[in-house]
Chains A and B, each alone.
Chain A
Amino acid sequence: MEPRRLIDRWLEATLRIHPGEQRSTLLLFLQCLSVVGALVVARAARDALLLSRLSPSALPRVYLLAAAAVGLAGAAWARVGPYRPLDRIMPATALASALALVAARLVRGLTGPWLDLALYAGVEVIGALTLAQLWSHAAAMHDPRSARRLFPLIAAGGTLAGALAGLAVGSLSRRWGVENLLWLAALLLAAAAAASAVSAREAGSPLQRATARPPTSRRPADRHLILLGVLSAITLIASTLVDYQFKSAAAARHAGNPSALGGFLGMVSAGSGLVALVVQVGLTSRLLGWLGLAGTLALLPAALVAGSGAALLAGGMWPAILARGADQTLRYTTTDSASRLVLLPLPPPRRTLAKTLADGLVRPAALAAGGLILLALPRSWRGPSALALATLVLCLAWLAMLPGVHRLHLAALRDALRKGRAGASPEDGRREWVEVLRAALASADPAELAWALSRAREAPGELQADVLPHLAHPDPRLRTLACLALAGQDAAAEHLLPLLADPAPAVRAAALAAHPGPPVERLRQAAEDGDPEVRGAALRALLRAGDRGLAAPGLAALADSADPALRRQAARLLGPAADAGLEPLPGILLHDADPSVRSAALASAGAARTDALLPALAAALGHAGSWRAAADALAARGAGTEAVLAPLLADARERPVLRRRAALVLGRLATPEAAALLARRVGDEDEAVRGAVAEALGRAIQLHPGLPLERDLVLRVIRVELVLAWRAVAAAEALGLPEASGRARDARDGARHLLAAALTERVDRAVDRALRLVRLLQPAAELDLAREALADQRRRAAGVELLDTLLDRRLRRLLLPLVEQGSRRARLREVAGLAPLDSPDWLRELLRDEGAWMAAAAAWAAGELRRVDAAPRVAELLTHPVDWVREAALTALERLLPPAELARAARDLTADPFAPARERALAICERGGAVRPEVPG
């Protein structure tokens, strides 16, 4: 296997990064790494610089200033942000922030302490804006499923940055001086600007914010959001107090030595970062599994309680360091992850509101409240013991609120699961989810019970005891659901047995389906039940048990029934019958007159494990009424289906419509083998098949960018398509056809317009195919935009402009003049010598065209333009497989041949199955005086 594919598989297996996501995830990881790294460095520098000039007693006012700055910046962002493209504003913000730090470094020493205050607040604003933009960008690029997989990886960039930047600060501060750390922070922000610019450009068209302006305060806030807001505020106030204690202790320890202070702050950051990295990568998901949401949320306040208790009992530097370390480690790992899960079940608008309020309102307000509390405290109460006591009280309040959060989370999860809302699934918190289902299974509300029973099978072992009582429920619908919830569980077999004789047919059928191995005698009886569902379930159970002898007659009886409901049951058993090796199979059901029977048969055949039905499925692609269901079934089978589709696609004698559909299915399979089969047909003789192959290959490559492709072959085919297009242009020019579409003056003019339109279509399709093929070699999303823009007159010019920038020189020369404005003659001059554009007789060449429409339009034109010399070629079209081509040829010959010859030519069409052609031929023969043959049926 190719190294690239090995890497793709490894990434998918270990980190759950799907093919095609590697680059975007890496860019976001690097962006997060750079931003957080810059913040860690900048914060260490600004804290050291501030505390070297001002006493720690000034910190409360600094917190207030920072809160006001972050609040104003957040409000401005909320107003402006949703209406600006992120691909510009993200790099601009990072770059401007870098420049601001450079300016702060340059003017340092020239100004007083106000710069340190401004720097403190400024770094908080930079942090708020750059992180908000990063996560907005990430959210816009991902759906909830990929976000859940990839966001922890992206966030790990920040965790890693915390450790590495902290280590760097520790050593560089002493070597360079703490003020020079601002250069490093600026450099990291510049790197973040570069990463965000590349990431946004590769994401495609300018990104809009994923969320609109958040709902206004006119919307009443509900208990959930209020509780989460209060909890968030308490945690942030506690964090502010811990921060104050830590910085006061650090400033006292390294008084008068800002570089040493910076180094110390860096080392604490590094230590927290390293521990956070280990926790994030190795422990967070495990802790969520062991402790549940509430337990995980309790870790941080419990750690702070322990730290505060140690400070009260022992005092000294270490409790402050440990409290600060616990805050920095657990807040951005376990607490953040648990907090995200708390919000996940909420409907998207409420989730957005909660996040916006937390970031834009609660955070700065809590920071300000922390400052105000510290200012309000008398000096004597700002000592380590008093603050440790205050922190202890806050953390105990925090812990006391967690049961309420847990209850509200369960209620939101239940609501989300019942409404099938995206973003709520068992993977988000299995313990809580099982708890929710267990509670619902004890409900007296039939609707809630039905929902819980339908979901219970997703946790079979854990909920069996809760489901069993419902086997005796008075409502047959619920008994049915209870049976299905116990499907396949051996321990439930004895409980399901009595239900095989339930008065309700649906319950009997469900019990048969769920029982792991019903007694044969009961199955035999059920196979003759009056209800089709019960009979079907019994036959399915017999097939599952391998009892073909008993199943075969029952299945045959159902398949032969005049009742579509019975035949549908048989159709659903087609796959299991094939898997059980039953012969003969009722394959006739695949072509049943009833569409529901056909669909059921095709779906069942597609789900079969055996390949016995594959040829029948492939043949069903050729039937107008069933090809879509056949395509779905073949695509759903996945790898292994290529073998049956390959001969269909490769056989040039096969019907084009069947070959196109085979290409479609191969495109949906998107396996390397499918891609190889498609690649072999990129140069197929049939235009429509080439188009289908190009489209299918494009889809396959988009799903799996690592699929192998022979570049030279694709380039050759692109050239072939473009030459085909140019020959159509040359033909239109040589025949003197109108350049612009317009209203025809007469029949002759109409024929010329028709042929001109057919040639224009040829050009457009060839260009479309060529661009689809170029997309295989050059995976730029803008190529798709350009291709689609060409079809819209209003956007065509922009599309051409885009192609001009995207294509390489050789392709540009051959392709651009095809799509540019300008006269045909001028455009043909540009490609003179690049391609063979001659023909001895264009009209006669078009009469032999592979395309039916082109041939018909050429025949029509030959007739209206009185091209008598073309009559023999037109006559060849009298045997064309397409009805209306034969009709058009006959009509044209009416203008080209003398009566006797015309009558002779028309004679063969007097038995034509196409009525318009037949009637015309008969009329000609009558006029020509030929003996009128027998008119068929």
Chain B
Amino acid sequence: MITTVEKALFLKSVPLFAALPGEELAELALIAAEVDADAGEEVVREGEAGDALYLVVEGKLRVLRGGRELTRLGEREPFGEMALLDPGPRSATVRAETDVRLLRIGREEFEELLTDRPAVARGVIAVLVRRLRETAPA
């Protein structure tokens, strides 16, 4: 069982949460649930509505689109970040290659947290704006 502080340490490696201060990461960690998946199990399926972010604690996964492997995910790598903010369809399937342990943050819980902790919202917005600046034409 991972402690809250360990979860916070993992969450800090998610780019969306990189700007969050420690207390806010701890609050975020409180809503992050540990989820286990067996090797071969699909964690998310391409096309289904996204409703959660996942972060790999242990194990390896494969990212597939249309049956073709796009990339592999290992420890401390997140996937499905944008599902926290936008319920669009998943762009790829993520399947466990080995037995995996994941942290899962659901969108509903995240939205509740944003209401109670505006600092979390500000941190996320800061990261999104930074990405926008970096990709906007000069």
Contact = CB atoms under 8 A, between A and B. Distances in A.
B78 to A, nearest CB: 14
B23 A624 contact: no
B3 interface: yes
Interface in B1-53: 1, 3-6, 8-9, 12-13, 21-23, 26, 29-30
Contacts of B9: 744, 750, 753-754
Contacts of A920: 1, 3
18 contacts: A743-B13, A757-B22, A761-B21, A761-B22, A851-B23, A852-B26, A853-B22, A856-B5, A856-B22, A856-B26, A860-B5, A883-B4, A884-B4, A884-B5, A887-B3, A888-B3, A888-B5, A919-B1
A916 interface: yes
Nearest to B119: A688
A624 to B, nearest CB: 5
A857 interface: yes
Given A624-B116, A792-B130, A853-B23, A888 B12 contact: no
B26 A884 contact: yes
Interface string A742-767: 01100000100110011001000100
A891 interface: yes
Interface in A875-916: 883-884, 887-888, 891, 916
Interface residues of A, number: 28
B126 interface: yes
B122 to A, nearest CB: 11
B107 interface: no
A887 B4 contact: yes
Contact of A857 (B1, B5, B130, B133): B5
Nearest to B29: A884
Nearest to B129: A792
Contact of A757 (B12, B23, B76): B12
B5 A754 contact: yes
B65 to A, nearest CB: 27
Nearest to A747: B6
Interface residues of B, number: 20
A509 B115 CA distance: 35
B76 A743 contact: yes
A791 interface: yes
A757 B126 CA distance: 18
Contacts of B12: 757
A127 to B, nearest CB: 37
Given A624-B116, A884-B29, A857 B22 contact: yes
B110 to A, nearest CB: 16
Q: Which residue among B6, B76, B116, B130 has the maximum number of chain A CB atoms within 10 Å of its CB?
A: B6
Interface in A777-792: 791-792
A887 B22 contact: no
Nearest to B25: A853
A483 B99 CA distance: 71
Contact of B21 (A794, A853, A856): A853
A916 B22 contact: no
Contacts of B30: 883-884
A584 B3 CA distance: 49
Contacts of A851: 23
A920 B8 CA distance: 18
Interface string A157-191: 00000000000000000000000000000000000
CB-CB nearest 4 A-B residue pairs: A853-B22, A884-B4, A888-B5, A853-B23
Nearest to B75: A743
B22 A891 contact: no
Interface string A847-875: 00001111011001000000000000000
Interface string A906-937: 00000000001001100000000000000000
Interface string B74-90: 00100000000000000
Nearest to B19: A791
Q: Which residue among A791, A854, A856 has the maximum number of chain B CB atoms within 10 Å of its CB?
A: A856
Contacts of B13: 743
A744 B76 CA distance: 10
Contacts of B116: 624
B24 to A, nearest CB: 9
Given A761-B22, A852-B26, 14 more contacts: A753-B9, A754-B5, A754-B8, A754-B9, A757-B12, A853-B22, A856-B5, A857-B5, A857-B22, A860-B5, A884-B3, A884-B26, A887-B4, A891-B3
A888 B29 CA distance: 13
Contacts of A887: 3-5
A41 to B, nearest CB: 45
A655 B3 CA distance: 26
Contacts of A883: 4, 30
A857 B3 CA distance: 12
B50 to A, nearest CB: 27
A750 B6 CA distance: 9
Interface string A107-141: 00000000000000000000000000000000000
A334 to B, nearest CB: 48
A577 to B, nearest CB: 30
A851 B23 CA distance: 9
A624 B112 CA distance: 11
B79 to A, nearest CB: 18
Q: Which residue among B5, B8, B29, B76 has the maximum number of chain A CB atoms within 10 Å of its CB?
A: B5
Contacts of B133: 794
Contacts of A791: 126
Contacts of B8: 754
Contacts of B1: 916, 919-920
Nearest to A891: B3
Contacts of A888: 3-5
Interface string A789-800: 001101000000
A765 B21 CA distance: 10
Nearest to A886: B4
A916 B26 contact: no
Contacts of A753: 9
Q: Which residue among A753, A757, A758 has the maximum number of chain B CB atoms within 10 Å of its CB?
A: A757
B133 to A, nearest CB: 8
B116 to A, nearest CB: 5
Nearest to B12: A757
Contacts of A792: 130
A624 B4 CA distance: 22
Nearest to B26: A884
A891 B9 CA distance: 15
Contacts of B76: 743
Contacts of B22: 757-758, 761, 853-854, 856-857
B84 to A, nearest CB: 20
A533 to B, nearest CB: 29
Contact of B3 (A743, A744, A916): A916
A883 B3 CA distance: 11
A883 B30 CA distance: 10
A712 to B, nearest CB: 31
Interface in B53-92: 76
Nearest to B23: A853
B100 to A, nearest CB: 19
A765 B22 CA distance: 12
Contacts of A758: 22
A442 to B, nearest CB: 48
B118 to A, nearest CB: 9
A301 to B, nearest CB: 52
A891 B91 CA distance: 39
Contacts of A744: 9
A871 B96 CA distance: 40
Nearest to A688: B23
A853 B26 contact: yes
A853 B9 CA distance: 12
Contacts of A852: 23, 26
A887 B8 CA distance: 13
Contacts of B5: 754, 856-857, 860, 884, 887-888, 891
Nearest to B7: A884
